[in-house]
Structure 1
Amino acid sequence: MPGPTARLLSLLSLLQTPRTWAGSELADRLDVTQRTVRRDVDRLRELGYPVESDLGTHGGYRLVAGTAMPPLLFEDDEAVAAAIGLRAIAVQGIPELEDAGVRALAKLSRSLPARLRHRVRVLGASTMTWRAPVAGHVDPDVLTALAAAAANRERVRMEYTRRDGTRGPRHVEPCKLVSTRTRWYLVAFDVDRQAWRTFRADRIHQPRPTGSAARHHLADPEIYTQLQESESALAATYRADVTLHLPLATARERLRDHLGDGELTADAGGTRWHSAEDTAEWLAIRLLLLDCHFTVHGPPVLREYLASIHERTAVRPNRSDR
């Protein structure tokens, strides 16, 4: 016969099935008396589980919705399904639930056995959602590791890709993961630089907890201040693909101070410009300041922004002119 704790967990697992259990049926399943079942049900109620009981021939026990969320028990397949769903929410799901989804995924991942974590990764890699891709896809395992480190106030070593494409090691103290609906960001204290930084999560690779306690922390108002100071870094950025109706030499001269790591090549219609990474707003300003005709091949957000400028600035005749 299992011990009291194991028996209590078995009873809870049975009650989580959406049905009413007769006391005699539970007693048979657990190999105990109905008196023991009643005592164990009382113990579950003391722990916060809302177990209802009905008397009579067709009565029994069932777990109902309560006012608080008690711990749940998952079978293997249920745990894998929950983790897959949380991963989807975290990286491409419902914006209003992304932050909560990452926190829940971090808690669930810590309790999953290695064999189940492997199943979750395999299934996650084998599925996708058919929708417009969001900028900067983030590995759910990266989000999970960062969220866990922030919750545990533990230092992390990781690789980070800078704006110029170079990649190097970072030693940080994660404080908070922030979702802007198009990207995830990590607010963390950079140990080597002794300063607070905001990192794009899609550029973070191989975060590894060190076991060392973090020494720096920001309250929510201070995090908002840090985000405001990093606002330019938080803005979504793109690389424009544009045909400029200019000779190559002229285009190079006009873009001399703004070319960055972009490139200019001769094109049948003039000059093809693959820009450096920047916001849609600044890319539009760059194009308008070139004082030439141009054709935008991408990204769509740049075309839409230029169209909105055209709509707002279009000259409309007065009624007296009609």
Structure 2
Amino acid sequence: MTSDMTGRMLRLLSLLQTRREWSGADLADRLQVTVRTVRRDIDRLRDLGYPVDSARGHAGGYRLAAGTDLPPLLLDDDEAVAIAVALRTAAGGLTGIEETALRALAKLEQVLPRRLRAQVTALQQAVAGITWENRGPRADPTLLATLALACRDHETITFDYTTRTGTTAPRRVEPQHLVSSGSLWYLLAHDTGRDDWRIFRLDRITGLTPTGHRAPARALPGDDPAAFVAAQLAAAPTRHRAVATVSAPAEHVRAHTRHLATRIRPVDEATCLVDASDDSLTRITQTLAGLTADYTLDADPDVLHHLRAAAQRTLHATG
């Protein structure tokens, strides 16, 4: 009996961490117990120090909230601060685990007391690291965590967004997914003002405000949000066009280049096309320099001029 109750309470705690709010009836259905048993288990969690808020009404509602202290049996203050800082750093661009770190960060910051949040922010701002590679703009970890919660809870948000042309306008969206691509993060959301799906670069978002309004989940455009975002980015207009025909199989080029997977198209078994088009002439030069096989180039005149000038400087530097 005791073992059953312990397992049920752990399952209850897990459910409370996966959604912002649960009705008593939904929890009872998930746990296959009565609503009365759920109320008793909630009281037991509170006795153990877990900050569970409840709403009045026939069905009732429960949510795991931030308390004055961390829930017991989890982390002490120093451990919580250390882990939160590490997760923020990882979520900001450590290749391979950004999304996992972001999910863990969202869970931790949901119950992190305010006094510890201030310590985490202060430590994050005070610690600096050496960047050996220019990876471009990175998203604010606090912004990432806030958007992760909004995606999870289907909460409508508002913010100001600056486009690639430099114009800024207010947006009201229903966030669905966060997608990372190299050092950049993108938000896939349904724009209520335009009644269509839109992709937003997180480093161009300012003034993010949760509205408290929850919208029903929408059917996503395609089965894979990351693939949808990648396809949209590949099709987006750029300032400078540069397409290389590479004398190597697509898989070879894909294995030896970074962040170009969706921009490499096979022509035949021995040749592929690499779309290096970009708003930045410098990034085009870096992309082409990273190719490990011979290629011919179809590019705009300004791209060719920039490449020739860069090649002349290199030749001059090497004598």
Q: Which residue of 2 aligns with 1:295?
A: 310
1:134 aligned partner, one-letter code: R
TM value normalised by structure 2: 0.54
1:172-251 superposed matches below 5 A: 172-219=173-220, 221=223, 223-224=225-226, 226-232=228-234
Name the CA shift for 1:82/1:188 in 2 (closer, same or farther; >3 Å). Answer: same
Superposed displacement of residue 276, structure 1: 5.6
TM value normalised by structure 1: 0.54
Residues 252-305 of structure 1: per-residue CA shift (max 9 Å, x gap): xxxxxxxxxxxxxxxxxxxxxxx964683499733454499413799xxxx9xx
Superposed displacement of residue 116, structure 1: 1.1
Q: Give the share of equivalent positions with the same residue, in percent.
A: 33
Aligned residue pairs total: 203
3-state SS in 2 of match to 1:169:
strand
Checking the alignment, whether the CA contact within 8 Å between 1:98 and 1:179 is kept in structure 2 is yes
Name the CA shift for 1:127/1:211 in 2 (closer, same or farther; >3 Å). Answer: same
- The separation in 1 between residues aligned to 2:168 and 2:146, in whole angstroms, is 19
Superposed displacement of residue 175, structure 1: 0.3
Unpaired runs of 5+ residues, structure 2, are: 12-71, 241-277, 289-298, 315-319
Name the CA shift for 1:115/1:43 in 2 (closer, same or farther; >3 Å). Answer: same
2:98 aligned partner, one-letter code: E
3-state SS in 2 of match to 1:232:
helix
- The separation in 2 between residues aligned to 1:297 and 1:194, in whole angstroms, is 50
Q: Which residue of 1 aligns with 2:93?
A: 92
- The separation in 2 between residues aligned to 1:233 and 1:119, in whole angstroms, is 43
Superposed displacement of residue 166, structure 1: 2.3
- The separation in 2 between residues aligned to 1:114 and 1:217, in whole angstroms, is 33
Checking the alignment, whether the CA contact within 8 Å between 2:156 and 2:212 is kept in structure 1 is yes
Q: Which residue of 1 aligns with 2:115?
A: 115
3-state SS in 2 of match to 1:105:
helix
1:232 aligned partner, one-letter code: A
Residues 74-119 of structure 1: per-residue CA shift (max 9 Å, x gap): 11111111110100100032x2210011111111111111111111
Matched, 1:144 2:159: no
Name the CA shift for 1:128/1:294 in 2 (closer, same or farther; >3 Å). Answer: same
Q: Which residue of 1 aligns with 2:283?
A: 280
- The separation in 1 between residues aligned to 2:182 and 2:306, in whole angstroms, is 34
Name the CA shift for 1:126/1:198 in 2 (closer, same or farther; >3 Å). Answer: same
